[in-house]
Amino acid sequence: MNTQTGRDRTIIRTSIIGILANVFLAAFKAFVGLTANSIAIVMDAVNNLSDAASSVITIVGTKLAGREADKKHPFGYGRIEYLSAMVISLLVLYAGVTAFVESVKKIIHPETPDYGAAALIIVAVAVIVKIGLGRYVKHVGETVKSDSLINSGEDATLDSVISASTLVAAAVYLIFHISLEAWLGAAIALVIIKSGVGMLSETLSRILG
């Protein structure tokens, strides 16, 4: 097995782990968010689904980038990996814009959340899982020099902060009976948008050399 093949297999294996983890977390968060009437947790679940889609794109990009050079592409298909990283950035940006629009709707027409102990425990576990996943994926990305994995790892780390903030909002509501749900959702969306713009800018710089 040559070095390139080993690198591709590592990227694909890591991406599959990311897909499984994010689909699992998205399912639980969606259930918790809908049950507790929490827009912030539902948006967090949507963000996890975008992460899973990002991992799928990373796999596709890696497969295409590994193709042999031909007459039409004498220098190979390596830059496709940069394009897949750019698509991931656009997905993150889209998730942020969507979350912001939904949160603004909730600010205009507020709804009262209904947190339960089980819901908060699930979100707390999600925070721990995303921290571990983010560090693992980013480490692998830096090891094999994959921009797609590095971007996915950074996004996963950002997700853990987002999930933690939903716990803080829940605590504030339970203690002070003040709902920060919609405002938190909007703040989360802006952070996601900023992250997406930054990732897109960096990827475009690499493509342009």
Expressed as residue numbers, the domain containing 169 is: 3-208
What's the pLDDT score for residue 79?
62
How many domains does the chain fold into? 1
What's the pLDDT score for residue 27?
92
Tens-digit pLDDT profile for residues 50-65: 778 777 777 777 776 6
What's the pLDDT score for residue 72?
63
The confidence band for 17, taking pLDDT boundaries of 50, 70 and 90, is: very high
Which CATH number characterizes residue 119's domain? 1.20.1510.10
pTM value is: 0.71
pLDDT at 75 over 70: no
Tens-digit pLDDT profile for residues 121-152: 888 988 999 999 999 999 999 998 888 788 88
pLDDT at 106 over 90: no
Higher pLDDT, residue 54 or 30: 30
CA distances from 16 to 25, 81, 87, 160, 189 (A): 14, 17, 18, 19, 26
What's the pLDDT score for residue 7?
81
What's the pLDDT score for residue 71?
64
Work out the percent of the chain whose per-residue pLDDT is above 70: 87
Tens-digit pLDDT profile for residues 166-197: 888 888 888 888 888 788 888 878 877 887 88
